[in-house]
Chain A
Amino acid sequence: MAASDAHSGASIRHAFGNVLGFFILLLIGVLAFSIRLFSVIKYESVIHEFDPYFNYRVTQFLTKNGIYDFWNWFDDRTWYPLGRVIGGTVYPGLTLTAGTLWWMLNSLNIPLSVETVCVFTAPIFSAFASWATYLLTKEVKGTGAGLTAAVLLAMVNFSSSFVPSYISRSVAGSYDNEAVAIFALIFTFYLYIKTLNTGSLFYATLNSIAYFYMVCSWGGYTFIINLIPMHVLLCIVTGRYSSRLYIAYAPLVVLGTLLASLVPVVGFNAVMTSEHFASFLVFIIIHVVALVYYIKGILSPKMFKVALALVVSAGLAVCCAMVAVLIALVASSPTKGWSGRSLSLLDPTYASKYIPIIASVSEHQPPTWPSYFMDINVLAFLVPAGIIACFSPLSDASSFVVLYIVTSVYFSGVMVRLMLVLAPAACILSGIALSQAFDVFTRSIKLQLPSVSGQSNVDAGEASSGNVVPNDPVKTDKNEDTSKERTSKKSKKKEKEHVEKPVSKSQIKKRLLVLPLETSIIAIILLVLLGAFYVVHSVWAAAEAYSAPSIVLTSHSHDGLHVFDDFREAYAWLSHNTEIDDKVASWWDYGYQTTAMANRTVIVDNNTWNNTHIATVGTAMSSPEKAAWEIFHSLDVKYVLVVFGGLVGYPSDDINKFLWMVRIGGGVFPHIKEPDYLRDGQYRIDSMATPTMLNCLMYKLSYYRFVETDGKAFDRVRRTEIGKKYFKLTHFEEVFTTHHWMVRIYKLKPPKNRIRGKIKKSKSVQNKLENKLEKKRTKKEPLLV
């Protein structure tokens, strides 16, 4: 009677837990979506930053022209005069996702604009990502169902929907590859672990399809194709090989490689570059290991020893030969078959030494300690606890998570941008840690409460009923599973085996692990406080730090809110006042925006595929006016756009980026030397600046007529008066400057008419004449235009 009572109570609790879990999932999805809407509320529904504009433009093209034109799209509006093959050089996952969403919505008669769909893609997928994180954690820790699972779910989802480093990449409007890629990454890992736990080919197929989606979405897929082999190798080395491991890995490599080479941007790289070799090597190893295990299974131990002696000697020779061939192949290629970005991951100093263009991107810099605190906050302290929780008991799945966090911590230490990969791992581990902590504390409270009331008899009974709770969900699980598919039953059984063993062992342990009542209550309160602190921080980060679209800027001052909408002002001017075929030169940061918003052809853009071309623009910017004019003229440039923050104090302007232009330009054209622009190793633009600096095009375009603003020409970013205040432009003319002077657009003056008769005259005379002519022309020009 008592037993059936307990059973029905447990099943009610179980059902309650399931319902609760479902609602938590739903609410967390809504929460993850809505916390990312700050940017829409505070600013407007607008695409952010640089790369998203390109993705937006591609999506527009896709929705307008269809998928076949998209694959064959040759874009002649960027990288003039080279152009760019968009279909073959872009990761199409994000674009196709948003395009499909838009198409679906439209066929349901919900007429949303492409832009709206693009803006809200990232928040939608962040909700998916937090669900995927939960699934992965559940698969890793394998807690059956019911309230414990609900707590785990709440914790993981809670941390994953809030983690600021992910928010920073997925706020509404930041329409970038990472928005969908993180979901794909976690989901691929989930399916891998699921396959590993169940050994079902069905999940292996799904896994390779999820991997395909990841390859479509982001270059970070190499992380998966290296992490999973690492895990397989770890399992083999630690003697955890099982046929489930084989089923999880071998089909993934074959199918994954084939699927990856379907994506045009990856293509044959999927079999040709070193990033993928690890997976092939492990593929061979796992076959050898599988064969060895098979032979071990069918032979008697004594015969197996003989076989081992024979095979090892023969096998080693073959292996050595293969490794030698592989190394020779890899070594024969100049970069050892690695792409620059991967190399800079393995050797953090590589980029700054050889490829300034990679090092110049701020998101490729190593992060600082505060940024860790800013981005993962309290999770940083919970992660170690989570790692410890993973080791008891260590399963294949939990070892995977440990491996995941270790590698991602390393990668995030190399590049700020990869903090994003760390975020889900940190969420999973701290979710595990938190739920374990809650588990321990609530259990000790539960065990203690009756003992406070008095009888020692009850204590023993309570302890046994306490054991019923973790056991019962497993039982009910089993009932439920008969209706489900057999594989999941399989998995649950495995889980059950996993769970039951520790349970029976920990029956004694649990009694020992009981904490004093007061301690556990205080600890729970502290944990809740910690969570609250984390929420406050994350909401603050989402609202203040990461929601700025960087297209529209705001600043608070004593006389109210200022909005700087200069970028859109400038791009709108360009699109209304210039010819459709005019070429606009600017530093590459603004290339995507110019093509997307102004619809004008640019020389270089954020897809930095051609270093020489960028170096040409860098050289032009750092040359004196005449040389710069010649370079720009040779590129058919009509307008030059510079971003200048000196008037309003906008720090990421071209003057602050200028040293990178010098470095990148100097890397290809050696007559540009960085020391020429530095006074005693210091970068300055005041009266102590070098003459090269004061005469270069960037300085002149930025500070032309700047003295007219306040009479002193005080630069608010550099906090100094500029070095050369009064000067005239000879080869360029100012055509537009935005309201806050943040974007300035100049037009190249047309080449002079040659005056035939005067060529033979001496140079000095000619120069004088030319100067005169030029003065005349500068006066006349406005009339002509």
Chain B
Amino acid sequence: MARSSSKDAQDLFRALWSAYAATPTNLKIIDLYVLFAVFTALIQLAQALDVLAELYGHREYIQEVPLEIVTLFKVVYMALVGSFPFNSFLSGVLSCVGTAVLAVCLRIQVNKENKEFKDLAPERAFADFVLCNLVLHLVIMNFLG
């Protein structure tokens, strides 16, 4: 049972990979961008989580669960401060999440296979994307204080 499911999983990943390899390069670039943004957001979250845990003295409790992840991120968040100025933490995380979300939207719109957006020119989609990003980052700069 376990072997078959692991074989299934292997098959699945192979299928996923081959299917993904067929996507156009520009979409792949966007995907990388999204991944990067999500990764940054996760780092900030983990760092905030750790600081919170230290604050509340539940450090071991947190460390029980995602041990590897926490240790992995420790290197990164050493230099950073934590979630204390809550607005900067929030704007940091939300800017990453927002960037990722907007990039996903862009990806949806420029994807040629997506029939819903067939007559939306990629230039137009990109202009919208830039506008939205502009608003997002204006707000974030304002929110940072």
Contact = CB atoms under 8 A, between A and B. Distances in A.
Contacts, number: 114
B139 A258 contact: yes
A490 B8 contact: no
Given A205-B135, A243-B108, A306-B11, A258 B143 contact: yes
Given A201-B109, A205-B132, A310 B8 contact: yes
Contacts of A300: 15
B46 interface: no
A252 to B, nearest CB: 10
B105 A201 contact: yes
A290 interface: yes
A251 interface: yes
Interface stretch (A138-146, A186-194, A291-299, A543-551): A291-299
Contacts of A205: 128, 131-132, 135
A468 interface: no
Contacts of A258: 90-91, 94, 98, 136, 139-140, 143
Nearest to B108: A243
Interface in A488-541: 489-490, 493
Interface in B1-53: 5, 8-9, 11-12, 15-16, 19-20, 22-23
A312 interface: no
Contacts of B116: 199, 242-244
Nearest to B91: A258
Contacts of B140: 258
B128 A255 contact: no
A365 interface: no
Interface string A1-13: 0000000000000
A195 B22 CA distance: 30
A725 B61 CA distance: 72
Interface string B80-107: 0000001100110010011001101110
- Describe B's contact surface by its main secondary structure: helix
Given A201-B102, A290-B104, A486-B120, A261 B143 contact: yes
A721 to B, nearest CB: 62
Contacts of B16: 295, 298-299, 307
Interface string A193-224: 00000011110110011000000000000000
Interface in A653-712: none
A271 interface: yes
A486 B98 CA distance: 25
A647 interface: no
B105 A247 contact: yes
A119 B110 CA distance: 49
B139 A255 contact: yes
A209 B135 CA distance: 9
Contact of B12 (A250, A261, A310): A310
A208 B105 contact: no
A254 interface: yes
Contacts of B86: 268
Contact of A250 (B9, B91, B101, B142): B101
A257 interface: yes
A297 B113 contact: yes
Contacts of A208: 135
Contacts of B23: 298
B125 interface: yes
A26 interface: no
A299 B15 contact: yes
Nearest to A270: B90
A209 B134 CA distance: 13
A309 to B, nearest CB: 8
Contacts of A244: 116
Contacts of A91: none
Interface residues of B, number: 44
Interface string A299-323: 1100100110110000000000000
B15 A250 contact: no
Contacts of A255: 98, 132, 135-136, 139
B60 interface: no
B139 A262 contact: yes
Nearest to B102: A251
Interface string A168-202: 00000000000000000000000000000001111
B105 A486 contact: no
A487 interface: yes
Contacts of B139: 255, 258-259, 262
B129 interface: yes
A258 B23 CA distance: 33
Contact of A254 (B11, B97, B113): B97
B108 A247 contact: yes
A298 B20 contact: yes
Contacts of B12: 303, 306-307, 310
Contacts of A209: 135
B74 interface: no
A208 B101 CA distance: 14
Interface in B115-141: 116-117, 119-121, 124-125, 128-129, 131-132, 135-136, 139-140
Nearest to A202: B128
B80 to A, nearest CB: 20
B135 to A, nearest CB: 5
B83 to A, nearest CB: 11
Given A254-B94, A257-B94, A262-B139, A490 B120 contact: yes
Nearest to A252: B101
A310 B12 CA distance: 10
A667 B75 CA distance: 54
A257 B97 CA distance: 12
A570 to B, nearest CB: 45
Nearest to A249: B101
B114 interface: yes
Contact of B119 (A295, A299, A490): A490
A246 interface: yes
A295 to B, nearest CB: 7
Given A243-B114, A310-B5, A250 B105 contact: yes
Interface of B: 5, 8-9, 11-12, 15-16, 19-20, 22-23, 86-87, 90-91, 94, 97-98, 101-102, 104-106, 108-109, 113-114, 116-117, 119-121, 124-125, 128-129, 131-132, 135-136, 139-140, 142-143
Q: 4 closest A-B pairs (Cβ-Cβ)?
A: A201-B128, A254-B98, A298-B19, A243-B108
18 contacts: A200-B120, A205-B132, A208-B135, A242-B116, A243-B116, A246-B108, A254-B136, A255-B136, A258-B94, A258-B98, A258-B139, A298-B19, A300-B15, A303-B15, A310-B5, A486-B121, A487-B124, A490-B120
